[in-house]
Amino acid sequence: GENVEQHPSTLSVQEGDSAVIKCTYSDSASNYFPWYKQELGKRPQLIIDIRSNVGEKKDQRIAVTLNKTAKHFSLHITETQPEDSAVYFCAARGWGTASKLTFGTGTRLQVTL
């Protein structure tokens, strides 16, 4: 089955700096890669996603890149703000209806003033 690795497990940046979180996946049939942000005790909330027919997607300060050949994708957050502090999970979904999301182990991002 699919296996998703995520690095780093913790990341501390100063406000205004950029943050990059990287994930790799194992199943070449996976075709959808969402990123979820989870604040303490809250639900995972989708912040951006990318499908396998696209190499890059951007939404304001957040961007995701996908390298299908290398089977890795990354989340880029620019001009970080304290409210970006949370745990970020990458995920991958394979082919088929009602396909499950396989999550990475999460990255705890701390944005310091």
Partner 1 sequence: EPEVTQTPSHQVTQMGQEVILRCVPISNHLYFYWYRQILGQKVEFLVSFYNNEISEKSEIFDDQFSVERPDGSNFTLKIRSTKLEDSAMYFCASSEGGGETQYFGPGTRLLVL
* Token code pair at residue 61: 């300060």
**Residue 43: CB minimum distance to partner 1, A:** 4
101 belongs to the binding site for partner 1 (CB under 8 A): yes
What is the token pair recorded at 50? 């990318």
Q: Find the binding residues for partner 1 in span 29-68 (CB under 8 A).
A: 32, 34, 36, 42-46, 49
Stretch that binds partner 1, among 14-22, 56-64, 65-73, 104-112 (CB under 8 A): 104-112
Number of neighbouring beta carbons within 10 Å of residue 68: 16
Question: Hunting for tokens 């100063």 — which residue is that?
Answer: 14
Q: Under DSSP, is residue 83 helix (H, G, I), strand (E, B) or coil? A: helix
Six token digits for residue 82: 């304290």
Residue type, 104: G
User: What's the closest the beta carbon of residue 53 comes to partner 1, in angstroms?
Assistant: 12
User: By the criterion CB under 8 A, which residues form the site for partner 1?
Assistant: 32, 34, 36, 42-46, 49, 89, 91, 93, 96-106
